[in-house]
Structure 1
């Protein structure tokens, strides 16, 4: 059992940081009453955390490649715990928002190192099992957040949703002592211009989408923010192309396998998780369920995702990644389509079949995304690659959330305070589920069509060396790496993305 202690440390941290993305949605009404917060301020208690998490994942991964993954993981764990304490004690909404931003920084440091730490700790079938359990934690966390949030808010206080992180963080910190410390990584400076331009782009885009949801798509500040965000993306690309040690090596995107995995990561969170916030609000504002019961509406997805991801680590270790991820995304799309059964007179049971199918898709695809991404890059780009994958996942959520808010039939503030009619909200949910299903289906078809494996040869789209040490570029990756079973060895079946 001792060998599984590193997995327990990583999984606890993952559960904690991902639960904090959605847990606030259930506590929002109580939080608004206690802190006299506006709806816009409440949005930022959710969005700032996700924004900082997404914006800093890649730099955290890059830093971990240089000074060690365990060091960055432990530092993030400590920072997250401190910020959770200040969130729980916040005297006003401004202090809460700032603390949530610091929480996002700690979460980025933990999340960017999770997959790399598992890769260091486990080999062979153990690695497949470890990624399966970690994937189960990923899949269950987003849906478990509202459940836990409802329980704590109703029976303790909204402050407890943050303070509960303290004992979990303490346990993870004790277990982190059993995580192996790797050798010193690459030397070099952090890519501060890349960090600044990417953070600016993410912030402007998310702000522009939130503003457009509140004030309309013709609002000048909203349009200006979106245009500026697009310009910042261009600056980021130009900066990264010109640096010797970039935060994100853009040559990775020359491999269609890597590119389609990034798209699949964003599609997964946008289609499976972003809409859960509005299902939770529907349960409270339209069905008049209390906080705990509203959270339990999402339980089928959490349970199914956990079971499927955990079993998948054992049963699907020989299945090519494109099937696990691609079929998983298609199932998410099918589940979203089933949720179209929700109507003005529907009860909570109307969403159960659809959410259960979404859970199957999440459980199939989540654990394989991490190991497949690691298999597409050289070993010393592990932190960068997992940081990029997690960034795309969180940006998919962060960008989809305000977009979905705009397609609801009534204003977001009215929805939060229970002012939406059953018919208007049902129509809005239908539009959200249609968009979610479309995103998932496109993502699934892209993965099935572009992510290939070949036997006995290198990648047909190999862009050439992406790092200095020549010996490292001669290493291959076996097809079993795509499902997380082994590390670099002479190639007998590598990821490819060439068409049939």
Structure 2
């Protein structure tokens, strides 16, 4: 086995982890028909995965340091593969949602270990090459997700978007066992179990409350009860973090306004750019009558524009102050959302998706370096985990909120257009906030930062 075999092992796992964030979108209408699922159930297919990632990626980092990176990665691959099989065989929407949550648990462990394994395996110039390859794989996974999902759904059926993960996971397990060396952090303090429980319960309850708002009035006791319970658990989480020696997230980092706004920008990034795509997929297929592959092709312009940015000016963006890249990137994402509309043809989506895609390319490049520039070197791993957490949280909350907007509209088309407006306003407002508040300087030449610049999942 060559020296790049460990990189291949982690890229295989990283690919299926990241492609599953977007590949499901195109399959939702077919899934709804087979499983007799309503809009609320389809939202949970997306959110169960995103919430598990958001809730557990920080804790998985602590577990990785404690029991070993290779061991955690192998175990997470096995969990992800078994959950993918359960998704592919799911007889109803309830089993599907549960399997997606378990898939997210495995994904969180993989997300926490892939870059860590790269960082301890490669050094100097090889590390830079490895991180560059990882970045290409991550970008490609996100880009081809809708297209790959459409191809599999139309050719073999939606269940294959999950079943295709299994042989890839098996190869990744075999290769990891043979070529990846074990490593850990001898100073690891262990997993913050109370923090994991309270954070998971808090964001889960808030998301459930937002989902219920799509079925009931905002002022109903059911909705307000879940939202209040979730906020109460998050307050408990904050109190525990302030007192714990094993805290998942050092609350002192939030004393710096730039750190807080960059995490808010990470949430807005996923919310404004991607949270409406499940509903767009339903519109393209159920309202316009497009086949899954065609619907996937319609959504490609966003990914293509992002890849154009990454391949042309991406490497130069790190020399631009982060306040400008974050501000302009999010503003473009917001403008793209405002340009989106519905009509009798899919062509009306192309300008908005393309503009949003350019914003995705800029913001995605800027976020990792921006967050690293606000924290001490010893907090780089925690900051990277926090960034991934807030990105997934933005997706989960975005799907819940925009689903509520769609559900309460007079028609599906008007609700979809309103969701575009909400997403657009969120992108622009947070972009302006980043432009005003973020003061962190460029830090690309810091070796500690270079190790985590690829953490964009």
TM-score range, shorter chain: 0.7 to 0.9
Matches within 5 A, 1:243-262: 243-262=244-263
Tell me, in whole angstroms, the C-alpha distance in 2 between the residues paired with 1:129 and 1:310. 15
Aligned residues: 451
Cα distance, 1:53 vs. partner?
A: 1.5
SS in 2 for 1:433: helix
Deviation at 1:213, TM superposition (A): 1.0
- 3-state SS of the aligned residue for 1:190? coil
Question: 2:215, 2:407 within 8 Å by CA — same for their partners in 1?
Answer: no
SS of the residue corresponding to residue 28 of structure 1 reads helix
Q: Are positions 1:452 and 2:439 aligned together?
A: yes
Distance apart, 1:343 and its partner CA? 4.1
Structure 1 unmatched runs, 5+: 412-419, 456-477, 488-500
- CA shift at 1:233, angstroms? 1.0
Which residue is equivalent to 1:168?
Answer: 168
In structure 2, C-alpha distance between the alignment counterparts of 1:302 and 1:156, rounded to whole Å: 24
Q: Based on CA coordinates, which of the two structures has the bigger radius of gyration? A: 1
Alpha-carbon shift at residue 355 of structure 1 (Å):
1.0
Question: In the TM superposition, what is the alpha-carbon distance from 1:446 to its structure 2 partner?
Answer: 2.8
CA offset at residue 141 of structure 1? Answer: 4.0
Measured at CA, do residues 451 and 138 of structure 1 come closer, stay the same or move farther in structure 2, by a change above 3 Å? farther
Give the conservation status (yes or no) of the 8 Å contact 1:241–1:250.
Answer: yes
Q: CA deviation at 1:125?
A: 6.8
Q: 1:146 to 1:70 in 2, by over 3 A?
A: same
Cα-Cα RMSD = 2.9
Query: Where does residue 428 of structure 1 map in the other structure?
Result: 415
Q: 2:455 aligns to what?
A: none
The 3 A distance-change label for structure 1 pair 125 and 277 is farther
Counterpart residue number, 2:159: 159
* 1:90 and 1:96 in contact (8 A); partners too: yes
Contact 2:29 2:281 in 1 (8 A): no
Tell me if structure 1 keeps the 8 A contact 2:369–2:444: no
Using the TM superposition, give the Cα deviation of residue 168 of structure 1 relative to its aligned residue in structure 2, in angstroms: 2.6
Offset of residue 44 of structure 1: 2.5
Instruction: For residues 140-197 of structure 1, give each alpha carbon's deviation from its aligned partner in whole angstroms, at most 9, with x where no partner exists.
Output: 5445333222211111022101001123323444554655654534232321111111
Task: Provide the C-alpha distance between the structure 2 equivalents of 1:117 and 1:212, rounded to a whole number of angstroms.
Answer: 42
Segments of 5+ residues of structure 2 without an aligned counterpart are: 453-457
In the TM superposition, what is the alpha-carbon distance from 1:306 to its structure 2 partner? 2.6
TM-superposed deviation, 1:108: 0.8
Q: Note if contact 2:406-2:415 (Cα within 8 Å) is conserved in structure 1.
A: yes
Q: Could you tell me how far apart the structure 1 residues matched to 2:269 and 2:179 are? A: 32
User: Following superposition of structure 1 onto structure 2, how do residues 72-471 of structure 1 map, counting pairs within 5 Å?
Assistant: 72-121=72-121, 131=131, 133-142=133-142, 144-174=144-174, 176=176, 181-312=182-313, 314-339=315-340, 342-345=341-344, 347-408=345-406, 424-453=411-440
Question: Does residue 1:71 correspond to 2:36, yes or no?
Answer: no
Distance 2:55 2:131 in 1: 24
Aligned partners of 1:269 and 1:394 also within 8 Å? yes
2:198·2:233 contact (CA, 8 Å) conserved in 1? yes
Paired with 2:107 and 2:365, the residues of 1 have a C-alpha distance of 19
**C-alpha displacement of 1:79:** 1.3
Deviations 1:50-106 (CA, angstroms, capped at 9, x unpaired): 221211111112222333434323321221112111221233333322221210100
- Quote the Cα distance in structure 1 between the aligned partners of 2:109 and 2:255: 27
For residues 371 and 5 of structure 1, the distance between their equivalents in structure 2, rounded to whole angstroms, comes to 27
Q: Which runs of 4+ in 1 moved over 6 A?
A: none
CA contact (8 A) 1:76 1:110 kept: yes
Structure 1 stretch displaced more, 218-227 or 127-136? 127-136
Please give the alpha-carbon distance, in whole angstroms, between the structure 1 residues aligned to 2:206 and 2:257: 25
Residue in structure 2 matched with residue 47 of structure 1 by the alignment? 47
Matched, 1:481 2:433: no
Q: 1:114 to 1:307 in 2, by over 3 A?
A: farther
2-structure distance, mates of 1:454, 1:81:
41
Q: Distance in 2 between matches of 1:20 and 1:78?
A: 16
Say which SS state the counterpart of residue 480 (structure 1) adopts: coil
- Give how far 1:391 is off: 0.8
2:214 is paired with a residue whose SS is helix
TM-score when normalising by structure 2: 0.88
More helix by share: 2
Matched position secondary structure for 1:72: helix
Could you give the per-residue CA deviations for residues 396-454 of structure 1, whole angstroms, max 9, x where no partner exists?
A: 1110112111222767xxxxxxxx9xxx4443233222221222122222333333346
Distance 1:485 1:384 in 2: 15
Deviation of the 1:376 alpha carbon: 3.6
TM-score, normalised via structure 1 length: 0.81
